[in-house]
């Protein structure tokens, strides 16, 4: 899951995480890009869902979430600490991660928009309907782009078209989405090829829309092996009476990557100046399953959630009443559906500085320097 040739990069990123978690001073490199804008679901949400009328399952603003953040305070991140969006922002030289859009006043938006904003929403997806039935009010990708469009209008009014275009074309646009669409489809499957084609077409339309608004550099995280999440292991146990990953969902996840890769390659040839970095999350997670202990990390629990109860820690939700593991850095999964901060550190380092085994055609550091 990580570039084994770059242990110094991982060590540096770990120091950044430590500094963020403890408030300690750390020497930081200059920012590589002017701003980072984040779109997607709970894997990169930093608190937007705190401001929505949704069920508790789509929120992370209560203990034990955030147990390893300063003061053990829940922030709306679906993690014991920082998530991948946070860590990539730190790696790019920012003092802190772009804040949640819904947490900002109009005045705060005007100052923050030049450094980046996070529009991601837990439970959301590429389709407008994704997450609504199960969770209530979530922010689908279409609305996330509407919010961003408003930000671009503010920026243009204040700074003019030329300066706005200059900032946006140099900024990183991080996108991590599609898993919730896949979860909902797998509950009532139909034509897999048609579903995956529609998923990739929707991705294409949103990236094209961002491009038209000024985006040029895209960091895209593909869908991981969802069938190996604790929630899906429990699903297999209930449905089949056997242990292991839920294979139909893993098959969908695996098949989605080459389609997404082909779409991005074709789009980059069609749109002048577009560049991208695609992280193969399926390959990254699979590598950790096959190599749980290396010089860079040591994971001792690959199946059960750290926070939760029952089989795989997935039968009871992660809340203040749930059992909590002591060795969070040794667990791959934090709750039934999300990684621990320790995994996010490895993922962020790989996305930021990894080799072509896991991120193509360039990593995010190289993308930033283009």
Residue 24 pLDDT more than 70? Answer: no
pLDDT tens figures, 135-191: 989 999 999 999 999 999 999 999 999 999 999 999 999 999 999 999 999 999 999
Q: List, in order of start, the domains of the chain with CATH numbers.
A: 7-369 (3.40.50.1110)
Candidates 3, 42, 176, 344; catalytic one: 42
pLDDT at position 335: 98
Compute CA 334 distance to the chain's CA centroid, rounded to the nearest angstrom: 14
Give me 18's structure tokens: 């430590």
pLDDT tens figures, 305-330: 999 999 999 999 999 999 999 999 99
pLDDT at position 12: 41
pLDDT at position 13: 44
Q: CA–CA separation, 275 vs 267, rounded Å?
A: 9
Of 262, 270, 163, 184, nearest to 222 (Cα)?
262
Q: Is 305 helix (H, G, I), strand (E, B) or coil?
A: strand
Q: CA–CA separation, 68 vs 107, rounded Å?
A: 31
Q: How many Å is the maximal CA-CA distance in the chain?
A: 62
Candidates 176, 256, 338, 344; catalytic one: 338
Q: Are 116 and 171 in contact (CB under 8 A)?
A: yes
Q: Which CA distances in Å does 126 have to 22, 179, 218, 315?
A: 36, 9, 16, 27
368: Cβ contacts below 8 Å, ≥ 6 apart: 32, 33, 92, 172, 217
Residue 20 pLDDT more than 90? Answer: no
What percent of the chain has pLDDT above 90?
90
Q: CA–CA separation, 283 vs 12, rounded Å?
A: 24
Residue 339 carries which DSSP code?
B
Would you call 338 a catalytic residue per the annotation?
yes
Q: CA–CA separation, 318 vs 316, rounded Å?
A: 7
pLDDT tens figures, 327-356: 999 999 999 999 999 999 999 999 999 999
Q: 70 or 1: which carries more pLDDT confidence?
A: 70
Look over the chain and give the mean of its residue pLDDT values, rounded to a whole number: 93
b/e map 46-85, b = 16+ CB within 10 Å:
bbbbbbbebeeebbbbebbbbbbbeeeebbbbbbbbbbbb
Residue 28 pLDDT more than 70? Answer: no
3-state helix, strand and coil shares in percent for the chain, rounded to the nearest 5: 50, 10, 40
Would you call 335 a catalytic residue per the annotation?
yes
Of 313, 34, 362, 61, nearest to 169 (Cα)?
34
pLDDT tens figures, 73-118: 999 999 999 999 999 999 999 999 999 999 999 999 999 999 999 9
Q: Is 350 helix (H, G, I), strand (E, B) or coil?
A: helix
Candidates 68, 222, 335, 344; catalytic one: 335
Would you call 251 a catalytic residue per the annotation?
no
pLDDT at position 29: 74
């Amino acid at each position: 899951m990580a570039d084994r040739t770059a242990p110094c990069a991982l060590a540096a990123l770990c120091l950044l995480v430590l500094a963020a978690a403890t408030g300690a001073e750390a020497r930081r490199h200059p920012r590589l890009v002017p701003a980072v804008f984040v779109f997607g679901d709970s894997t990169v949400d930093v608190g937007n869902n705190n401001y929505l009328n949704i069920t508790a399952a789509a929120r992370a603003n209560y203990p034990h979430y955030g147990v390893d953040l300063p003061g053990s305070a829940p922030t709306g991140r679906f993690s014991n600490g920082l998530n991948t969006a946070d860590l990539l922002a730190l790696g790019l030289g920012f003092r802190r991660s772009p804040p949640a859009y819904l947490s900002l006043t109009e005045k705060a938006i005007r100052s923050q928009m030049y450094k980046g904003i996070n529009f991601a929403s837990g439970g959301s997806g590429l389709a407008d309907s994704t997450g609504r039935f199960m969770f209530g009010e979530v922010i689908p990708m279409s609305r996330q782009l509407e919010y961003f469009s408003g930000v671009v209008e503010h920026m243009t009014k204040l700074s003019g078209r030329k300066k706005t275009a200059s900032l946006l074309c140099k900024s990183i646009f991080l996108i991590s989405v599609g898993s919730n669409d896949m979860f909902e489809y797998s509950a009532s499957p139909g034509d897999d090829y048609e579903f995956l084609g529609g998923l990739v077409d929707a991705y294409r339309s949103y990236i094209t829309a961002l491009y038209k608004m000024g985006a040029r550099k895209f960091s895209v995280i593909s869908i991981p092996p969802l069938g190996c999440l604790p929630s899906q292991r429990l699903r297999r146990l209930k449905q089949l009476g056997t242990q292991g990953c839920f294979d139909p969902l893993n098959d969908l996840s695996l098949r989605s990557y080459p389609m997404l890769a082909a779409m991005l390659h074709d789009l980059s040839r069609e749109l002048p100046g577009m560049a991208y970095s695609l992280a193969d999350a399926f390959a990254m997670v699979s590598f950790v399953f096959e190599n749980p202990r290396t010089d860079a990390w040591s994971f001792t629990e690959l199946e059960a959630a750290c926070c939760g109860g029952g089989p795989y820690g997935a039968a009871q939700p992660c809340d203040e009443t749930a059992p909590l593991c002591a060795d969070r850095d040794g667990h791959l999964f934090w709750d039934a559906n999300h990684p621990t901060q320790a995994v996010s550190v490895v993922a962020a380092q790989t996305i930021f500085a990894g080799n072509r085994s896991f991120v193509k055609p360039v990593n995010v550091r190289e993308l930033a320097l283009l």
